Chain A
């Protein structure tokens, strides 16, 4: 068959319109659409990725009765422009009603702007930046899981108190790392310690940290603060042990998930201090939640990212159900309602969401078990200290959120 320009144009147009029609139809139906956006191929893939999608699906399974809920997901590749582009398309063309997870702070902030402009609910679980509930807070944003302030206060504060006064930072050079270093420095100085230096390295794409480790060693510091995450953190710890740093310095891995501990192996990770807002083996409720999660996703135990994706999706669906499904497009109204009623679930118990969007979760300081203490895979943490839900986050008066009237 020989195609001329006219038939080609005709068929393309026809194909285009048949493709577009059901889309438009779907957007007007009563289906609640949740879009999970996170890193699905890079250094943070195992921390969120498809596991967070599964956490959202689990919430739908438990709360979705009588509702028509659909989950879609995409990979933002840790690039703000790509992330913002996907979200814009999701909202404009696919009729997505809520954006979930969005790890990597730089992407999280870009998406924040889009959701605010489009008035679509935005629940962030994976990013660390305090700006989401600070200067850049919006009426449609909820930050649920952890932030750098919480990590800095819990891990940083505890290490200074136990005698680590001089700190050297190795920092991922983007908004998350910079803020984590800033907040940790604040707590170090508050407790009477000092910061002797810092190395900012290009993110992503750095895999050899030995130069920075040598600089840290020659600075005379006694604590090495790692203001990074994922594979970067595990690489730093591995190489710190290799260069004999661990004999003289303590390592403060400011953001570490249970998956990172597994990747490192207990032999290398034992004794590390880290902070999460959730651990599967905390109590009966968390164990029950984790057991149900494993039925959907047998490969991993849920970390604080999955726990908060689950808890916040559950709360979102409950709220939308009460308000009426047709109200779901009004992000500001949904989120305002979510802030009014406290959330209830097995992962976090009761959670109150503050006016600035911060979901008040507790911070648990854990120490990684030695291979002898551990009873098997995923039995990794000893609870050292708990910061209560109301005290773990940055005080609202210091956050600088314009929504909060002082």
Chain B
């Protein structure tokens, strides 16, 4: 009875998000009528070639967002840790790739005369495998020594700890290598590009989208479709019960953290040839990537992948129309999504 009264008071059941979309539509129509359709059209019109190009570039940037936010989502899902060190580990991945490529440059910085033979230098392709393993091992060490102590505490502690770790790691690299960046060449096999008619597409960027897409897909398959993934998901829900079945849950958690960081390192190697390899490269990404995770729904794997690519595209379009806002647009979207769906687009809600 009382339920019916409450429902009656609320009026017809209109979902909150519909109201927001309605308001947005009204605002858009109002703007069109105030400014005049011709002016709006003149502002909106861009050569299709330019738009297509920007869409493609957005997709490429989205590939990085997806890779990074995927690792974050997995770590948050399994460990309940908001891993602020993710950007620093991404940077570390790029730096280790550079260190493997030109070991003699930085060995000479440590002590003159120190050098290794040529066969020890690892190019881009081996780095794609080796660097995630190295960074993953580092992640294992971090998890065992420091992070595992925080599982019983509030999220905030994990956030503060990993944020501190990020500052320490970035500071150490800055002290050792400066901030002006290290050169890293695009591998010979991917030099050059192809003219798509609407834009010049460097082969390397194409490779980035493909590689990131494949890695995202494989990760998703492993977690959703394999028995290992099933155990992982079960351990998140009820670690005690899964342990009772004879699964080594602490080890699984450690490996999950390592795996998440390996994804960041993989993204770092992918980024090395196109962005300047410098200690700040991770902090430029990390805030955006967190917004991606929040919009997608904390801990949602599909959410982080889809939102990563999607927001890359939105950002790309903003750069055509009003580049000054390209850093802000993602947060505007975050605000709107959080108002409409507090658990994120793909979040289950708590």
Chain A residues packing against B (C-beta within 8 Å): 41-47, 49, 173, 199-202, 204-208, 210-212, 214-215, 217-218, 230-231, 234-235, 238-239, 242-244, 259-260, 262-265, 267-268, 299
Nearest chain-A residue to B178 (Cβ)? A46
Q: Which of A43, A206, A208, A268 contacts B179 (CB 8 A)?
A: A43
Q: Are A41 and B179 in contact (CB under 8 A)?
A: yes
List chain A residues, Cβ under 8 A from B281.
207
B54–A211 touching, CB < 8 Å: yes
Instruction: Assess whether A231 is in contact with B174, with CB atoms less than 8 Å apart.
Output: no
Chain B contacts for A212, CB-based, 8 A? 319, 323
CA distance in complex: A367, B67 (Å):
40
The smallest beta-carbon distance between B278 and chain A, in angstroms, is: 6
Distance in Å from the Cβ of B243 to the closest Cβ of chain A?
A: 43
Residues of chain B within 8 A of A265, CB atoms compared:
183
Residues of chain A with a CB closer than 8 A to B181's CB: 231, 234, 263-264
User: With A and B bound together, what is the CA distance between A207 and B60 in angstroms?
Assistant: 13
User: Which of B28-36, B124-132, B196-204, B303-311 faces chain A?
Assistant: B196-204
**Neighbouring A residues of B139 by C-beta, 8 Å:** none
Asked whether B218 is an interface residue with its Cβ less than 8 Å from the other chain, the reply is no
A243 touches B174 (CB 8 A): no
B50 touches A215 (CB 8 A): yes
Contact A202 B186 (CB under 8 A): no
Task: Please determine whether B323 and A46 come into contact, CB atoms closer than 8 angstroms.
Answer: no
When distances are taken between beta carbons in the complex, the residues of chain A under 8 Å from B278 are 43, 231, 263
Q: Is the CB of A218 within 8 A of B53?
A: yes
Beyond A202-B327, A218-B47, A231-B278: 6 further Cβ-contacts under 8 Å? A202-B323, A211-B54, A214-B50, A231-B180, A260-B180, A264-B183
* Contact A45 to B285, CB < 8 A, known contacts A207-B275, A242-B186: no
The listed residue with most B CB atoms (<10 A of its CB), out of A45, A206, A211, is: A211
Report A-chain residues with C-beta under 8 Å of the C-beta of B320: 211, 215
**Is the CB–CB distance between B276 and A231 below 8 Å?**
yes
Chain A contacts of B53 at CB under 8 A?
A: 214, 218
Q: Is B123 an interface residue (CB 8 A)?
A: no
Q: What's the Cα separation between A206 and B318 when bound, in Å? A: 14
B57 interface residue (CB < 8 Å to A)? yes
A268 to chain B, nearest CB (A): 7
- B174 A41 Cβ-Cβ under 8 A: yes
Among residues of A, the one whose C-beta sits closest to the C-beta of B54 is A211
Is A231 within 8 A of B319, CB to CB? no
Across-interface contacts of B316 in A (CB, < 8 A): 211
Known: A202-B324, A211-B316. A231 touches B183 (CB 8 A): no
Taking a contact as CB atoms under 8 Å apart, the answer to whether A45 and B179 are in contact is yes
Tell me the nearest residue of chain B to A170, going by C-beta: B323
Contact assessment for B182 and A218 in the assembled complex, using a CB-CB cutoff below 8 Å: no
- Cross-chain contact A208 with B182 (CB below 8 angstroms): no
Q: Closest approach, in angstroms, between the C-beta of B25 and any C-beta of chain A?
A: 28
Q: Once the chains are docked, how many angstroms separate the CA of A47 from the CA of B179?
A: 9
27 of the cross-chain contacts (CB-CB < 8 Å) are A45-B178, A49-B179, A199-B323, A202-B324, A202-B326, A206-B284, A206-B326, A207-B285, A208-B57, A210-B57, A210-B60, A211-B320, A214-B199, A231-B280, A234-B180, A235-B275, A239-B274, A242-B186, A242-B193, A242-B202, A242-B274, A243-B200, A244-B202, A262-B180, A263-B180, A267-B185, A299-B178
Would you call A244 and B200 a contact (CB within 8 A)? yes
A299 contact set on B, CB distance < 8 A: 178
Interface residues of B, CB < 8 Å — how many? 42
A residues less than 8 Å from B80 (CB atoms): none
Which 5 residue pairs of A and B lie closest in terms of their CB atoms, listed nearest first?
Answer: A265-B183, A263-B180, A211-B319, A45-B179, A202-B327
Q: Are B276 and A207 in contact, CB atoms less than 8 angstroms apart?
A: yes
Shortest Cβ gap from B347 to chain A (Å): 27
B324 x A173 contact (CB < 8 A): yes
User: How far does the alpha carbon of A310 sit from the alpha carbon of B50 in the complex, in Å?
Assistant: 48
Taking CB atoms, residues of chain B closer than 8 Å to A201 are 319, 323-324, 326
B160 contacts which chain A residues (CB < 8 A)?
Answer: none
CA distance A212 to B50 in the complex (A): 10
Per the 8 Å Cβ criterion, residues 44-91 of B in contact with A are 47, 49-50, 53-54, 57-58, 60-61
Partner of B274 from the list A205, A214, A238 (CB cut-off 8 Å) is A238
Q: How far is the CA of A244 from the CA of B194 in the complex (A)?
A: 10
Q: Give CA–CA (A400, B62) in the complex, Å.
A: 47
B180 touches A46 (CB 8 A): yes
B64 CB to closest chain A CB (Å) equals 8
In the complex, chain B residues whose CB is within 8 Å of the CB of A262: 180
How far does the alpha carbon of A218 sit from the alpha carbon of B195 in the complex, in Å? 13
Complexed CA–CA distance, A46 and B174 (Å): 10
- In Å, the complex CA distance between A107 and B186 comes to 36
- B276 A234 Cβ-Cβ under 8 A: yes
| CB closest residue in chain B, given A237 | B276
Residues of B within 8 A of A204 (CB): 284
Inter-chain CA distance A205–B87, complex, in Å, is 13
Residue of A nearest to B201 (CB): A243
- In the bound complex, residues from chain A placing their C-beta under 8 Å from that of B185 are 267
Min C-beta distance of A52 to chain B, whole Å: 14
Q: Give bound CA distance, A271 to B72, whole Å.
A: 42
A173 nearest in chain B by CB position: B324
Taking the nearest CB of chain B, how far is it from the CB of A257, in angstroms? Answer: 9
Taking the closest CB of chain B, its distance from the CB of A207, in whole angstroms, is 5
CB of A274, distance to nearest CB on chain B (Å): 15
Contact A214 B180 (CB under 8 A): no
Q: In angstroms, how far is the closest chain A Cβ from the Cβ of B206? A: 12
Residues of A within 8 A of B285 (CB): 207
Q: Determine the residue in chain A with the shortest Cβ distance to B195.
A: A244
| Inter-chain contact A200/B324, CB cutoff 8 Å | yes
C-alpha gap A230/B278 in the complex (Å): 11
CB–CB A47/B180 < 8 A: yes
A406–B163 alpha-carbon span in the complex (Å)? 56
Find the residue from B171, B281, B319 having the highest chain A CB count within 10 A: B319
Q: Which of A47, A200, A263, A268 contacts B323 (CB 8 A)?
A: A200
Complex Cα–Cα for A263 and B183 (A): 6
Shortest C-beta distance, B237 to chain A (Å), equals: 38
CB contact list, B238-294 vs A, under 8 A: 274-276, 278, 280-281, 284-285, 287
Q: Select from chain B the residue with minimum beta-carbon distance to A218.
A: B50
Residue of B179, B199, B200, B326 with most chain A CB atoms under a 10 A cut-off: B179
